Amino acid sequence: MLRKTIFAAAGSLAIAAGGLLVSDNLVQPAQADGHGAQVAAVKERQEAMKAVGGNMKIIAEFVKDSKGTAAEASAAATKIGEIATAIPDVFKVEATLEEMDKVGKNRSKANIWSDWDGFLARGKVLEEEAAKLSAVLNSGDAGAIQAQFANFGKEGCGGCHKTYRGPKVDG
């Protein structure tokens, strides 16, 4: 699927058009099994999260191993902030456990939809923390970069995962 390729190959491009790409996928007609929209939605959000993870790796390598440049790491943080703005869209289709099992390795918990506002608030935190991280990465202040990188992982990612993401699934 085109979107999948774009997300994988160049997170930045997909994100620039993220809102549109995301919503057109969600309204695709259900497939023969009747769960097409849910299965597509689960794949969509996993792709979005993978793009977040890929950008996080660029930042972590810069902060921990001085790989790449500050500008590249800062741009990766900006991309995560952009993906964060698509979180309401990519998660809006609720999928039952049975439906999500068809996709495999699903880790979204049901409380995402029973506590939708709380979930969206975590997306907002990610957006704000990403903006702060992007700015500080360009500051050249190593101490401030380390501190915000730690905060970003804890609040930006962990703050959502610990409540709304289930345990790792084998297979």
Count CA atoms closer than 13 A to 139's CA, side-chain side. 16
Q: How far apart are CA 19 and CA 148, in angstroms?
A: 27
Which one of 14, 123, 134, 149 is in contact with ligand HEC (CB under 6 A)? Answer: 123
Binding flag, residue 25, ligand HEC (CB under 6 A) = no
Place of tokens 């962990």: 158
Per rule CB under 6 A, is residue 132 in the interface with ligand HEC? no
Residues within window 51-80 making contact with ligand HEC, judged by CB under 6 A: 52-53, 56, 80
Residue 46 makes contact with ligand HEC by CB under 6 A: yes
> How many residues are there in the chain?
171
CA–CA dist 140, 92 (Å, integer):
38
Q: Which stretch binds ligand HEC (CB under 6 A): 4-12, 19-27, 139-147, 157-165?
A: 157-165
Residue 122 as a binder of ligand HEC (CB under 6 A): the answer is yes
Number of chain residues interacting with ligand HEC (CB under 6 A): 23
Please say whether the beta carbons of 28 and 37 come within 8 A: yes
Q: Answer yes or no whether residue 92 interacts with ligand HEC by CB under 6 A.
A: no
Q: Are 25 and 35 in contact (CB under 8 A)?
A: no
Q: Is 50 in the site for ligand HEC (CB under 6 A)?
A: yes
Binding of ligand HEC by 126 (CB under 6 A): yes
- Are the C-beta atoms of residues 39 and 99 closer than 8 Å to each other? yes
Q: Give the distance, in angstroms, between the CA of residue 55 and the centroid of all CA atoms in the same chain.
A: 10
Question: Applying CB under 6 A, which residues contact ligand HEC?
Answer: 42, 45-46, 49-50, 52-53, 56, 80, 87, 106-108, 119, 122-123, 126, 156-157, 160-161, 164-165
